[in-house]
């Protein structure tokens, strides 16, 4: 099957899906914040990918699709699960015990920068352009402005944690480039997501059994169960169906723009549902991110050039 055509400028539908994905991933901060008060990070990750895989498998069965059975397909699923879930989730969980969460978010926002570089080397249809690179830099600066200078306090005291967060961003940038092979193989988004999370669960469950001994943990309260369910169903199963849907036509670089929007959605959700205050710096940061996204999309600049001509 020929590769899916990649849109250099995303369609309105793809932009809407990107915002929805950012909202789902921004909401994961709420769920993790509730769950981590009583449960260890490895257990949360293992529960998330295992229940997410089970939900996705049920959807696949009900929709009449079938999971592939070839060794090549499952080998690719394990690479994707390792690169997109097991390694970055574990690195971030360890690093956030040593650095401020705001600084961690800034380093996570370097993902599109790595995606532009890797896609330029590893693909033929997602090459670096001045507009794309400039937009990525603007988006990163917008995230840094929005989170504020307080995030940098004490950030450089733990070099290994900083490097772990940067390495997680490299894995996040690599995984959608690798994951493009699923759409080329004709796999629908829900099948690709199911395979990825099944592989991730196979790797994560033994880790949490070995290090967390979950049978010794206290029974979580009802709000914690609700948070785990929201994390697995919304921020994992549903989110990754959208992830692969965007990846199939918009490409890896455009998909990774979601890391600029996740902090925006998390801050807005906090203001709407937790009574957190939106400061002027947040609006400035969002405006800079918007300029960066417009530069990457290219159409606003093309429109201005036509008008000036």
| Residue 142 · residue 260 · CB < 8 Å | yes
301 in any annotated domain: yes
Report the range of poorest mean pLDDT among 88-97, 175-184, 190-199. Answer: 88-97
User: Tell me: the pLDDT tens digits for 221-258?
Assistant: 999 999 999 999 999 999 999 999 999 888 888 888 88
Contact partners, residue 130, CB within 8 Å, separation at least 6 = none
Q: Is residue 154, in this structure, part of any structural domain at all?
A: yes
Report the C-alpha gap between 190 and 162 in whole angstroms: 34
Whether residue 264 contacts residue 22, with contact meaning beta carbons closer than 8 Å, is answered with: yes
The answer to the question of residue 179 being in a domain is yes
**Do 235 and 27 meet the contact criterion of CB atoms below 8 Å apart?**
yes
- Domain ranges, residue 106: 12-308
Asked if residue 291 belongs to a domain, the reply is yes
Q: Count of domains in the chain?
A: 1
| pLDDT (0 to 100) of residue 1 | 44
Q: CA-CA distance, 162 to 125, in Å (whole number)?
A: 32
What is the pTM for the complete model shown?
A: 0.82
What pLDDT is stored for residue 154 in this prediction? Answer: 57
- Give the integer Cα–Cα distance in Å for 299 and 277: 33
**What is the rounded average pLDDT of the residues 201-230?**
92
pLDDT at residue 282 in the model: 79
d(CA 106, CA 153): 13
Asked, for residue 67, whether it belongs to a domain, the answer is: yes
Name the token pair of 75.
């080998």
**Residues 256, 176 contacting (CB under 8 angstroms):** yes
For residue range 239-248, list pLDDT tens digits in order.
999 999 999 8
Residue 1 lies in a domain: no
Q: Can you give the pLDDT at residue 131?
A: 80
Q: Domain for residue 172, yes or no?
A: yes
pLDDT at site 2: 45
What mean pLDDT, rounded, does the chain reach? 84
CA distance 28 to 172: 17
Q: 142 and 292 in contact (C-beta within 8 Å)?
A: yes
Is 155 a domain residue? Answer: yes
């Amino acid at each position: 099957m020929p590769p899916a055509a990649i849109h250099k400028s995303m369609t309105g539908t793809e932009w809407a899906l990107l915002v929805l994905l950012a909202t789902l991933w921004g909401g994961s901060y709420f769920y993790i914040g509730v769950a981590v008060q009583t449960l260890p990070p490895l257990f949360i990750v293992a529960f998330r990918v295992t229940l997410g895989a089970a939900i996705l498998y049920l959807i696949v069965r009900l929709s009449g699709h079938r999971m592939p059975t070839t060794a090549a397909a499952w080998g690719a699923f394990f690479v994707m699960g390792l690169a997109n879930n097991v390694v970055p989730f574990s690195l971030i969980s360890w690093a956030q015990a040593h650095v401020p969460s705001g600084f961690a978010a800034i380093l996570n926002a370097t993902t599109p920068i790595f995606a532009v570089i890797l896609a330029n080397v590893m693909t033929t249809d997602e090459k670096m352009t001045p507009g794309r690179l400039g937009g990525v830099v603007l988006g990163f600066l917008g995230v840094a402005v929005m989170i504020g200078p307080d995030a940098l306090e004490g950030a450089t005291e733990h070099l290994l944690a900083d490097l772990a967060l940067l390495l997680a961003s490299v894995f996040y940038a690599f995984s959608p480039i690798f994951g493009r092979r699923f759409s080329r193989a004709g796999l629908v988004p829900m099948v690709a997501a199911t395979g990825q999370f099944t592989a991730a669960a196979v790797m994560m469950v033994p880790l949490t059994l070995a290090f967390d001994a979950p049978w010794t943990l206290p029974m979580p309260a009802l709000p914690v169960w609700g948070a785990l369910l929201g994390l697995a169903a919304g921020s994992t199963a549903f989110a990754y169906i959208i992830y692969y849907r965007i990846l199939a036509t918009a490409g890896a670089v455009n998909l990774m723009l979601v890391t600029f929007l996740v902090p925006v959605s998390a801050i807005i959700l906090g203001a709407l549902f937790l009574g957190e205050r939106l400061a002027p710096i947040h609006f400035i940061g969002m405006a800079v991110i918007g300029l960066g996204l417009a530069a990457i999309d290219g159409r606003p600049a093309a429109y201005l050039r036509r008008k000036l001509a």
